[in-house]
Amino acid sequence: MTRDTFEERLFGAVKWMSVAFFLVITVFPLLYMVTLSFKPIEEVLKDPTDIFPSWNQFKSFRPYRDILRSESDGGRGFMKFIVNSGIVALITVTITVVLSTFAAYAAARLNFFGKRAVSAGILLVYMFPAVVIAIPLFVIFSRIGLRDSLLGLIIVYVAQTVPVALYMLRSYFQTIPRSLEEAGLIDGLSQFGVIRKITLPLSAPAVASVALYVFMIAWNEFLFALLFLLDKPDLWTLPLAVQQLDTTEVPRTMLMAGSVIITIPVIILFFLAERFFSEGLTSGGVKG
Amino acid sequence: MAEVRLESIGKVYPNGFRAVSDLSLTISDGELLVLVGPSGCGKSTAMRMIAGLEEITDGTLKIGDKVVNNLRPKERDVAMVFQNYALYPHMSVRENIGFALKVAKVPKTEIAERVSRAASVLELEKLLDSRPANLSGGQRQRVAMGRAIIRNPSIFLLDEPLSNLDAKLRVKMRAEISRIQAELGVTTLYVTHDQVEAMTLGDRVAVIRDGLLQQVDTPQVLYDTPANLFVAGFIGSPPMNLWQAGVTIGETTASVRIGEQSVELEAETVARVPDLAEFSGREVVIGIRPEDLAIGGVDNQEWPALSATVGLVEPLGSEILVHFDPGAPLAATGDPDMEDLSAEGDVLAELAVAKFGPRESFAISEKIELRMDPARLHFFDAEGGNAI
Ligand SMILES: Nc1ncnc2c1ncn2[C@@H]1O[C@H](COP(=O)(O)OP(=O)(O)O)[C@@H](O)[C@H]1O
Ligand SMILES: [Mg+2]
């Protein structure tokens, strides 16, 4: 075996081993979660070799039906929490993406006084850990009556995600050649038209990943949801609701079903958006 | 169609850098004016001010009779070809070319018609559905042209549109641009750093240096009577030979000293350049183009003679370039490209050059006697560089 083929095989093996490693650490927990949402953990513990639920267990869909049914029907009211989480996440994504797109464009392109300070400040904001500001925010929001509301939560999530969204988008806008926008101006667009017809279509991959990032934060966030909404079960978001299932009175299958319900949308969104990320949109426009 | 008039236009960038100073220039209706100068001299800045992409610091810009200083690009009705083409990567060639019309809300059928007409002029029919990323440099350049010509603008602005193409394609596209411009009769400003391109394309050529206009005229006038040292050295390839020379003008005789040699001037030369008398006893720069030098012979016995050593011979087939040293260094003209060459120790940049017919033969280090066509001698003030 020559050195080249040896290295080739070695790297080949390492590559497949790392793929396998990541598959194991990501897919296994997922698989377990799904399994345990159908099959009671006691059964699994009794016979660990048989982790798959029986067809009947699977078909009944019991834990899911129990968890989704409203409380008046003896369920756990998860339909409501899904709606709450959906509202919070979608509104947060919309506000953050719109706000940070315009702010990032301004920071990347337009000249204004104190531009550098603003750019530095963006990241500085993000460096404060959420816990540090959680208590002061709790107090302030209690005072102004925003505590027991989804609106309060949305405000916090927007404030939390805008800095990073802004930073990501600004970096992306800076990679779009200015002459493309100037060509748009010459072709008769207004400044706003240039952003809409040229900059944004070219930034679709960046905007999509920012939207996904913001969605994941708003969809999964737990700390502020707990602080703000604990007294208002009607307003609970999914992470909070799932956490409330973690007691001995609730069957484990239900807890796992709740976890699956949280996870699925993120995975679906990821696969939908993946197509966007892999498309290189800006290539070929300019030369030299 | 319109006349473009720049009146004392100036540009100071926000960082305080003055890129263009007191630029006055008129591009007549339907004319192709070339703005030429070394890179960094402010050509793009000047063009971008006309396009409305860059704010005008001082002066007045008129298109037709209208002052347009504060109009936005879309209100000026200009079309521009960018040096890097700036094609929209997310649109097909068809959409790229038709984009301005779409923005102007021209009906779809008319857009389609005009796109296909522009595509046939530029031989782009087969590429209409491709994306810019899949095109070659030359094809991208033609799409950029197509985007400009489809609009029937009042003014065409072309910023070094050929500088990214290889030499052969450049020559072809140069002819093409010339043809299209003549056909459409659109007032055109063409920016380039390549003086050959400037000379071949321009109805008139404006030479600019460090943001200052040096001379505007037809290519032939620029070539024959450069207004100053910079233009003399910049226009023409190979460039004009320029040497520092001391002038002595007496009652009956006149001579210049080039290095160690004293070169006699004829009375006619002195009569042709009367102001030379004022420079008697002082330094001037004397210039002669490579083709205005001849081998000493019967028919040019009267011409001023210059002896020199051959440094390098370049036979080009149709002619021979002889690089020679008359024992004096070449005068600096302020062309940064030439100065770069000298700084790099390029021997050719240190030598003067003469152009002869292909049947002459020369040996390196040979001593030769050159004659200078007295009607073609140029004199420049050594201080300031203006033509005498
Ligand atoms: N936005 C800017 N800010 C400051 N200086 C600039 C800017 N754009 C260009 N310059 C400077 O102005 C000079 C002229 O630039 P430009 O017009 O692009 O030159 P050219 O097109 O002749 O090569 C250059 O020295 C360049 O560095
Ligand atoms: Mg330029």
Measured CA to CA, the distance from residue B226 to residue A217 in angstroms comes to 69
Give A177's Cβ-side CA count (13 Å radius).
20
Mean pLDDT (whole number) for B108-134 = 91
The tens digit of pLDDT for each residue in B142-170 reads: 999 999 989 889 899 999 998 888 888 88
| A288 within a domain of the structure (yes/no) | no
| A20 within a domain of the structure (yes/no) | yes
* Sign of the four-CA dihedral A174, A178, A183, A189: positive
Neighbours of A206 (CB within 10 A): 24
The tens digit of pLDDT for each residue in A9-60 reads: 889 899 999 999 988 888 888 888 888 888 888 887 887 777 777 787 777 7
Q: Which of B180, B138, B184 minimizes the C-alpha distance to B161?
A: B138
Q: What residues of chain A lie within 8 A of the CB of B82, using their CB?
A: 179, 182-183, 286
Question: Which member of A111, A283, A286 has the closest CB to residue B86?
Answer: A286
- Two tokens at A97? 């993406």
Q: Chain A within 8 Å of B134 (Cβ-Cβ)?
A: yes
One domain, residues A110 and A213: yes
pLDDT more than 90, % of chain B: 53
Q: Is B55 in the pocket of ligand 1 (CB under 6 A)?
A: no
Q: What residues of chain B lie within 8 A of the CB of A201, using their CB?
A: 90
Average pLDDT score, chain B: 89
- Two tokens at B382? 């050594």
Measured CA to CA, the distance from residue B221 to residue B324 in angstroms comes to 27
pLDDT at B36: 94
| Ligand 1 atom closest to Cα of residue B160 | 21
Measured CA to CA, the distance from residue A259 to residue A38 in angstroms comes to 12
CA of B174 to the centre of ligand 1 (A): 25
Q: Chain A within 8 Å of B193 (Cβ-Cβ)?
A: no
Measured CA to CA, the distance from residue B145 to residue B171 in angstroms comes to 16
Q: Is B40 in the pocket of ligand 1 (CB under 6 A)?
A: yes
| Ligand 1 atom closest to Cα of residue B47 | 17
- Structural domain count, chain A: 2
One domain, residues A235 and A100: yes
The tens digit of pLDDT for each residue in B274-288 reads: 888 888 888 889 999
Cβ–Cβ below 8 Å for A283 and B89: yes
The tens digit of pLDDT for each residue in B90-108 reads: 999 999 999 999 999 999 9
Mean pLDDT (whole number) for A98-116 = 82
Statement: residue B81 has pLDDT above 50? yes
CA of B230 to the centre of ligand 2 (A): 19
The tens digit of pLDDT for each residue in B193-208 reads: 999 999 999 999 999 9
Task: Measure the N-to-C terminal CA separation of chain B; round to a whole number of Å.
Answer: 39
Q: Is B41 in the pocket of ligand 1 (CB under 6 A)?
A: yes
Statement: residue A188 has pLDDT above 50? yes
Cβ–Cβ below 8 Å for B82 and A288: no
pLDDT at B126: 92
Q: What residues of chain A lie within 8 A of the CB of B83, using their CB?
A: 288
One domain, residues A61 and A191: no
Pocket test for ligand 1, best of B9, B23, B41 (most atoms within 8 A of CB): B41
**Structure-model confidence comparison of residues A116 and B137, the more confident one:** B137
Measured CA to CA, the distance from residue A39 to residue A62 in angstroms comes to 10
Measured CA to CA, the distance from residue A276 to residue A270 in angstroms comes to 10
Which ligand is located closest to the Cα atom of residue B39? 1
Neighbours of A189 (CB within 10 A): 22
One domain, residues A110 and A64: no
Mean pLDDT (whole number) for A90-100 = 95
Task: Measure the N-to-C terminal CA separation of chain A; round to a whole number of Å.
Answer: 45
In contact, B157 and B51? CB cutoff 8 Å: yes
One domain, residues A38 and A110: no
One domain, residues A100 and A40: no
In contact, A174 and A119? CB cutoff 8 Å: no
Statement: residue A288 has pLDDT above 60? no
Task: Name the residue ranges covered by the structural domains of chain B.
Answer: 4-233, 234-381
Cβ–Cβ below 8 Å for A202 and B90: yes
The tens digit of pLDDT for each residue in A134-187 reads: 888 888 888 888 888 889 899 989 988 888 898 889 888 988 999 999 999 999
Cβ–Cβ below 8 Å for B53 and A185: yes
| A61 within a domain of the structure (yes/no) | yes
The tens digit of pLDDT for each residue in B231-277 reads: 999 998 888 999 988 888 877 778 888 888 888 888 888 888 888 88
Cβ–Cβ below 8 Å for A198 and B88: yes
Question: Which member of A177, A186, A285 has the closest CB to residue B132?
Answer: A285
Q: Which residue(s) pair with B33 in the sheet?
A: B189, B204
> What is the layout of strands, in order, in the sheet containing B378-381?
B261-265, B254-258, B241-249, B283-288, B378-381
pLDDT at A59: 77
B234-381, CATH topology level: OB fold (Dihydrolipoamide Acetyltransferase, E2P) (2.40.50)
Q: What residues of chain B lie within 8 A of the CB of A186, using their CB?
A: 51, 53, 73-74, 78-80, 100
| A28 within a domain of the structure (yes/no) | yes
One domain, residues A201 and A260: yes
One domain, residues A154 and A258: yes
One domain, residues A106 and A207: yes
Could you write out the three-class secondary structure of chain B?
A: CCCEEEEEEEEECCCCCEEEEEEEEEECCCCEEEEECCCCCCHHHHHHHHHCCCCCCEEEEEECCEECCCCCHHHHCEEEECCCCCCCCCCCHHHHHHHHHHHCCCCHHHHHHHHHHHHHHCCCHHHCCCCHHHCCHHHHHHHHHHHHHCCCCCEEEEECCCCCCCHHHHHHHHHHHHHHHHHHCCEEEEEECCHHHHHHHCCEEEEEECCEEEEEECHHHHHHCCCEHHHHHHCCCCCCEEEEEEEEECCCCEEEEECCEEEEECHHHHHHCHHHHHHCCCEEEEEECHHHEEECCHHHCCCCEEEEEEEEEEECCCCEEEEEECCCCECCCCCHHHHHHHHCCCHHHHCEEEEECCCCCCCCCCEEEEEECHHHCEEEECCCCEEC
Which ligand is located closest to the Cα atom of residue B21? 1
CA of B4 to the centre of ligand 1 (A): 22
pLDDT at A273: 80
Q: Is B88 in the pocket of ligand 1 (CB under 6 A)?
A: no
CA of B40 to the centre of ligand 1 (A): 6
CATH second-level architecture of B4-233? 3-Layer(aba) Sandwich (3.40)
pLDDT at B332: 82
Q: Chain A within 8 Å of B323 (Cβ-Cβ)?
A: no
Q: Is B43 in the pocket of ligand 1 (CB under 6 A)?
A: yes
DSSP state at residue A145? T
pLDDT at B328: 83
In contact, B242 and B352? CB cutoff 8 Å: no
Kindly report the protein residue whose alpha carbon is nearest to atom 26 of ligand 1.
B40
Name the one residue in this structure whose structure tokens are 């500088």. Answer: B163
Return the H-helix or E-strand segment holding A229: helix A223-229
pLDDT at A278: 62
Q: Is B45 in the pocket of ligand 1 (CB under 6 A)?
A: yes
Mean pLDDT (whole number) for B361-371 = 88
Instruction: Determine if the peptide bond prior to B238 is cis (ω within 30°).
Output: yes
| Ligand 1 atom closest to Cα of residue B211 | 14
Asked which of A68, A92, A109 is the last residue of a domain, the reply is: A68
Shortest Cα distance, chain A CAs vs residue B120, angstroms = 21
CA of B18 to the centre of ligand 1 (A): 9
Measured CA to CA, the distance from residue B205 to residue B226 in angstroms comes to 12
In contact, B242 and B351? CB cutoff 8 Å: no
One domain, residues A168 and A230: yes
Q: Which residue(s) pair with B191 in the sheet?
A: B35, B159
Mean pLDDT (whole number) for B108-135 = 91
Q: How confident is the model at residue B37 (pLDDT cuts 50, 70, 90)?
A: very high
One domain, residues A136 and A32: no
**Structure-model confidence comparison of residues B230 and B360, the more confident one:** B230
Cβ–Cβ below 8 Å for A179 and B82: yes
Average pLDDT score, chain A: 85
pLDDT at B344: 73
Residue A251's CATH number: 1.10.3720.10
DSSP state at residue A187? T
Q: Which domain holds residue A10?
A: 3-68
Statement: residue B303 has pLDDT above 80? yes
Asked which of A68, A102, A118 is the last residue of a domain, the reply is: A68
Mean pLDDT (whole number) for B305-332 = 89
Q: What residues of chain A lie within 8 A of the CB of B163, using their CB?
A: 288
One domain, residues A44 and A107: no
**Structure-model confidence comparison of residues A281 and A55, the more confident one:** A55
Q: Chain A within 8 Å of B73 (Cβ-Cβ)?
A: yes
* Sign of the four-CA dihedral A148, A151, A152, A157: positive
Q: Which residue(s) pair with B155 in the sheet?
A: B78, B187
Q: Kindly report which listed range (A53-67, A90-104, A178-192) carries the lowest average pLDDT score.
A: A53-67
pLDDT at A281: 55
The tens digit of pLDDT for each residue in A238-280 reads: 898 888 888 888 888 888 888 999 999 988 988 888 777 665 5
Which ligand is located closest to the Cα atom of residue B54? 1
